[in-house]
Amino acid sequence: MDLSPAHLAVAPVLIPLFAGALMLFFDDRERRLKSALSLLSILALIAVAAILIGRVHGGEERLGIVYLLGNWPAPVAINLVADRLSAIMLGLTALLALSAVVFATERWERVGPHFHSLFQFLLVGLNGAFLTGDLFNLFVFFEVMLAASYGLVLHGGGALRVRAGLHYIAINLAAALVFLIGIAMVVGATGSLNMAEIAAVASNLEGFAQPALHVGLAMLGLAFLVKAGMWPLGFWLVPAYSAAAGPVSAVFAVLSKVGIYALLRLALLVPDEGAAFGSIVIFIGGAATLAFASVGVLASQSMKRASAYFILMSSGTLLAAFGISQPATTAGALFYLISSTLAVSALFLIVELLEREQDSAAGVLAVTLEAYGDGEDEKAPEEFEVGRTMPGSIAILGIGFSMVSLVLIGLPPLSGFLSKFAILNAIIGTGATELDGFVVMRTILAALLVLSGVVALIALSRMAIRTFWAPVEPFLPRITIMETAPILFLLGLLLALALMAGPAMDLFLATAEDLHDPYRYLDAVLGAERVPPFAETSQ
């Protein structure tokens, strides 16, 4: 029996865990060594994610790869499950991490202690949350992820970051308490922490156990929606993400997707495809979030603050699409998830370089003090030497900004248009024949998608005019190759996603079919076999 597929599922957790722990033994002055270890870890994660996607989508492991920790039998074992959805999210996280770490090596790794270790532990939490099939370990990985993010959001110091970071910490600690109480209620009702076993027994509960389960699931959903940034629960997100360092904000673009992932994963496992989580409520909250984020983007005078609102716009679109709870809509939403996350991450890096070089006189563009944070200087110390500057920097940033804008607006021919078109086709096009009972919801979502694109067009055009065409004072950004390469890498991924839209959409459709057929997940997890003793495998 080949042991490599099963053990491969635990690698995305172990690789960053060992790398982060190892770097704690070295002084922060050993930056090159730490950077090299961090990059090697992330490259290994990219390779593992690619192999997992090939196995679960290529037919070798049809139901997914299940790893039974401790080799206990299912469902007793704490299990890790690598199926199409989790493998996609692992790959997305690793790609964003690579760009963020390369960008940070130029200056941001030097403005605070243990940057690379915190970054690796953040990856431990993210990857574990995407892989775990156990509710309590989902909570554990959430907390690992959040603990690392607390340090990263404060990285670089400054009153603005401390103020936003304290709000971020307080809200997430409160959400963690709600999460833990919800887990306790679900366990009390079902007697299990295993997601597959909970889904299997949920429809057979009687008496007090059934409402207790629904209350527990509602509390879990509330915790997930706080992390996803759904209005009115996401008021903490914009201040925290806009105050964080550029590479930190870039990788934080995927943090809000963890809440959406957890909600989607668990909601479609329990009976009635999300009814227990309130799919109608999720749709209404997603639509309200999309509308709120659109207003926020228009009102923002700071480019970084507007970038944070684009994360909320992405979350609102995804929640509204998932609230309809149909395979075609889910597939389009997954396409949009990948496209928007890559685009917002690239936007944070571009904005970091633009705002860093602008003269303080640009502050006259701000309508409120909040837009630029009380006039505090959040630059890295000027005494840091930078590498060789990149020629034609303003042209490179301008082209990158234009390409990202096309994706966020949803204009052809890039992936933003293709992903929005997939959602619209699913709700009002030829793929909407099975959604006769969702006419109002479909109409609202279609209208909001179009209006949000118009809003993005206005806001991003205004940013481009103020920055590139009619700045308050002319400026020439001094950017290095190490800062430009991650941006070009993300732009290349967006271009590749558009060129490979057919195969990508096939993957997303297959993923959506898996999600809306929970018996595939139940069969994979509850039917997982233990690894035989080594003596038996060697015979």
- Measure the CA–CA gap between 172 and 62, rounded to whole angstroms: 36
- Measure the CA–CA gap between 258 and 181, rounded to whole angstroms: 19
536 burial type by CB count under 10 A (0-12 exposed, 13-18 middle, 19+ buried): exposed
Looking at residue 383, its pLDDT comes to 41
Looking at residue 42, its pLDDT comes to 94
Helix pair angle (481-499, 84-104), 10° resolution: 160
Write the CB contacts of 389 (distance below 8 Å, at least 6 apart in sequence): 478, 479, 480
Would you kindly state where each structural domain of the chain is located, as residue ranges?
A: 278-360+389-515
Token output for 400: 């990158």
Which H, E and C letters describe 91-157, residue by residue? HHHHHHHHHHHHHHCCCHHHCCCCHHHHHHHHHHHHHHHHHECEHHHHHHHHHHHHHHHHHHHCCCC
Phi/psi at 167 (5° precision) = -65, -45
Write the CB contacts of 211 (distance below 8 Å, at least 6 apart in sequence): none
- Measure the CA–CA gap between 58 and 425, rounded to whole angstroms: 27
- Measure the CA–CA gap between 284 and 440, rounded to whole angstroms: 11
End-to-end CA distance of the chain: 10
- Measure the CA–CA gap between 296 and 119, rounded to whole angstroms: 29
Question: What are the 10-residue block averages of pLDDT along the chain, 539 residues in total?
Answer: 65 92 82 87 93 80 75 78 90 93 84 84 93 90 91 82 86 91 89 85 78 86 89 87 87 90 86 66 89 90 88 92 85 92 92 69 40 45 44 76 91 89 84 62 87 91 81 66 88 92 90 86 78 51
Question: CB–CB of 238/95 below 8 Å?
Answer: no
Question: CB–CB of 340/407 below 8 Å?
Answer: yes
Residue 432 CA from chain centroid, whole number: 28
- Measure the CA–CA gap between 64 and 45, rounded to whole angstroms: 18
Q: Give, as one character, the DSSP assignment of residue 375.
A: T
Phi/psi at 194 (5° precision) = -70, 125
- Measure the CA–CA gap between 126 and 100, rounded to whole angstroms: 15
Looking at residue 292, its pLDDT comes to 92
